[in-house]
Structure 1
Amino acid sequence: MDYQIEKDQTTDDVLGDMDLTGKRVLLTGAGAGLGLETCRAMAVRGAEVIGAVRDPDKARAAIAQLAGDASGSVELVKLDLASLQSVRQCADALLAKGAPFDVIICNAGVMATPQGKTSDGHETQLGINHLGHFLLVNLLVPLLRSGSRVIILSSMAHRLADIDLDDPNFERRSYDAWMAYGAAKTANVLFTVELDKRLRDRGVRVAAVHPGVVTDTALTRHMSREDYSAFVNAERDIHHRNKSIPEGAATTVWAAFVAPADDVGGRYSQDCQLFDVNDSQVVSNHGPRAYALDPDRAARLWTISEQMVGQSFDFA
């Protein structure tokens, strides 16, 4: 479907004069980069945003700059996606309040990190990008209204690698930072597929988005200067120009508020458009690889993820 939105438009172009008053949104990684812009775009239109961040004190200064323009509100809560205990504490606090959400946006993440483990012993990128969000969203399902949406940020980098479901933590393979990132981003899409399947009868739809190549964010903080320069130059060669932060966050708010829920549910989008499977070996091509949308692999990843977080979820 053509939604008449140009690929390089910004969050303000996409949302226009939309009134989000009365909408309550949980946004991870709200204190910087794409998350901060997503937060701003929603708050200035009246939304009540709960920003889940690793360091609320650090994020508070950035959020404070939004106060003068926002007709909505922003509240910060602590969330460290590298700690399942922190995820549970955050979810418990939100559940105790009992206020429902219209949208949950899983925006926070890391990219191309050195080999490491979360506090729970999982490979860093899988643990933060997938498992932390997997646990958080599932714990908060009771707060999702009928008609709500969950938006999960993936990446074109999912085209780099499928996730090895027999060795997700790189315990029997040599670690490669980019392959691990690609696998984690594939996990994001597979989580979208299975979560949408489980929640659609409750009136909740789940969408995966690729924001585009946005180099001016904290996502690149783990790269050496040389690796960062090579990354920026390579992406510029592929895409001709990289996106600004407001352009990068546009697909997130498009999938959350503009596109029809039944269109984006269980699907992968970028540039404010939906794309069918594209199994070209060219990483920079648009669209998802088939393995990222495979329902059998999505179901298997769900079971493995439950085992890794130590908790099962049944929404029947």
Structure 2
Amino acid sequence: MHNLDSDSEDELPPGWEEKSTEDGNVYFVNTCNNKIQWTHPRTGHKKVIPKDLPFGWTKTMDENGKPLYIQQETGNKTYVDPRLAFAKEEKKHVNDFRQRFDGSSTAFQVLHGVDLSGKYALITGCNAGIGFETAKSLARHGCNILLANRNMEATQQAIEQIVKDTKVSEDNLKSIYLDLGSLNSVKKCAMAVRTVFSNHLDMLILNAGVFGLSYEETEDKLDRTFQVNHLSHTYLALLLEPLLKKGSRVVFVSSESHRMASLKNVFVKQNLAHPKDQYSTLIAYNNSKLYNVITAKILSEEWKHKGIAVNSLHPGNMVYTNLPKSWWFYQMLFMMVRPFTKSLQQAAATSVYVATASELEGVTGLYFNNCFYCEESALARDKDIANEIFSISLGMIEERVGRDNIEKYVDKYCNRKENAT
């Protein structure tokens, strides 16, 4: 599916130079015989570059009328077109992309040279931890961010910290109240978002999550881990569909823990929330992360014809955040392994990569780890199970807040099951 050739194959043979045209095409010059060709002399593939300069670069002319490029932050000047650093091979298939980053990459490295000016992103759970790093990284490159959180005081502090760290204008950062423990709050938030983003949303990053909670019911009479991690995010994505246009990307932050999910009695009871009398903190979390992957795959198929990409990902193992704050044992465990796990910048890298990478244009329905595609669990790949999970989720939403704005999905998935019987 992917070309995993080493980068050495891209190296030019001696005597060859790589150059670019104004309209974003790459050509190759043999300096020995002045031969020019459009394909790479080693790979035989064509390459293209972005039409716009990388973020932070401007173009001028020297005294001889020759193009000169200036890096605004450092003042460095060069005659080499900086777009060449972002040249990529023309794809033969939408999923034909090579790995550029890995588990040690940071969000800032992923975004190097990327200009997100004029883009709009909504991120849930971003007043601290991985979500905060994701918001900060995107804002640093010009993206307008809507921070959707429950704690408005902490959100304002996060905005002030982002402005301090990145020097971006506070006008690019807005907050909105969102309590994922309340489906009514999700509905109010989604309706309000339309007035903020002028009917379009480029990135929807569903990052918020809880872990290690003992059994606790929300106002909707559901296990909080299940509702916060899965059901409310599913509902939010469906309600924001009208803002998603061709090229928009939806990112579900899941976990490798989805591989340890257990669906025992789920289909018998038609209830995805973990029951109180059999409650297991870890299984409740693992299941919610499986539902994230499944929902992303379902919506990727539903929205593919619109050009909306929906993918899921694992940010990193036991990253030190506020996630384990519910129990002292988890806090101690996460602290002990902190030197061996990803930093917050590294943990945010895959979210940022999936939300912005140019090679992922049109790529949908995949699961990512360490900034690259990997195969999800067998349960997540089972289409019958996926349809059943999505159907039950819709039924649980409809039972509590009605079917307004999600009618077509309720009719398609819930009625299909009724018709089958």
Q: Percentage identity across aligned positions?
A: 31
Tell me the amino acid that sits aligned with residue 216 of structure 1.
Y
Cα distance in 1 between the residues matched to 2:218 and 2:387: 24
Structure 1 equivalent of residue 383 of structure 2: 295
Aligned mates of 1:139, 1:153 — CA distance in 2 = 18
- Quote how far apart the aligned CAs of 1:215 are: 3.1
Instruction: Confirm or deny that 1:213 pairs with 2:317.
Output: yes
Q: Distance in 1 between matches of 2:355 and 2:371?
A: 11
**Runs (4+) off by over 6 Å:** none
CA distance in 2 between counterparts of 1:194 and 1:251 reads 21
Which AA in structure 2 matches 1:198?
E
Structure 1 pair 145–183 and aligned structure 2 pair: CA distance change class (3 A): same
Residues 104-119 of structure 1: matches in 2 within 5 Å?
104-119=204-219
Match of residue 374, structure 2, among 257, 268, 275: 275
- C-alpha distance in structure 1 between counterparts of 2:121 and 2:175, whole Å: 12
2:297 to 190, 193, 218: 193
Give me the whole-angstrom Cα distance separating, in 1, the residues matched to 2:315 and 2:141: 21
Residue range with higher mean Cα deviation, 80-89 or 207-216: 207-216
Q: Distance in 1 between matches of 2:119 and 2:318?
A: 27
**AA partner of residue 45 (structure 1):** H
Q: How far apart are residue 169 of structure 1 and its match?
A: 2.1
- Partner Cα separation in structure 1 for residue 151 and residue 333 of structure 2: 30
Q: Is the 8 A contact 2:131 2:208 kept in 1?
A: yes
> Is 1:227 the counterpart of 2:352 in the alignment?
no
TM-score (norm 1): 0.89
Q: Deviations over 1:215-274 (max 9, x none)?
A: 3211111122x33334555x67xxx821100000000010011141333x1111110010
- Partner residue in 2 for 1:28: 124
In 2, the alpha carbon distance for the partners of 1:37 and 1:67 equals 13
Mark the structure with the bigger radius of gyration: 2
Which residue of the partner structure matches residue 260 of structure 1?
Answer: 360
- Which residue of structure 2 aligns with residue 169 of structure 1? 273
Asked whether the 8 Å contact 1:214–1:248 carries over to 2, the reply is no
Is contact 2:226-2:274 (8 Å) kept? no
* Conserved? CA contact 1:19–1:46, under 8 Å: yes
Distance 1:212 1:313, change over 3 A: farther
- Do the aligned residues in 1 keep the contact of 2:102 with 2:372 (CA within 8 Å)? no
Q: Is the 8 A contact 2:319 2:347 kept in 1?
A: no
Superposed CA RMSD in Å reads: 1.9
Q: What CA distance in whole angstroms lies between the structure 2 residues aligned with 1:144 and 1:40?
A: 22
SS in 2 for 1:220: coil
Q: How many residues align?
A: 299
**CA deviation after TM superposition for structure 1 residue 296, in Å:** 1.8
Question: How many Å apart are 1:96 and its aligned residue?
Answer: 3.9
Give the secondary structure class of the aligned counterpart of 2:123: strand
The code of the aligned residue for 2:316 comes to G
Q: Deviations over 1:178-197 (max 9, x none)?
A: 01100000000000110111
SS of residue paired to 1:20: coil
Q: Identify the match of residue 314 of structure 1 among 408, 415, 418.
A: 408
CA pair 70-3 structure 1, distance change in 2 beyond 3 A: farther
Pick 1 or 2: higher relative contact order, CA cutoff 8 A, min separation 6. 1
Cross-structure match for 2:100: 4
1:98-127 per-residue CA deviation (whole Å, 9 max, x = no partner) reads 431011000001012101111101111110
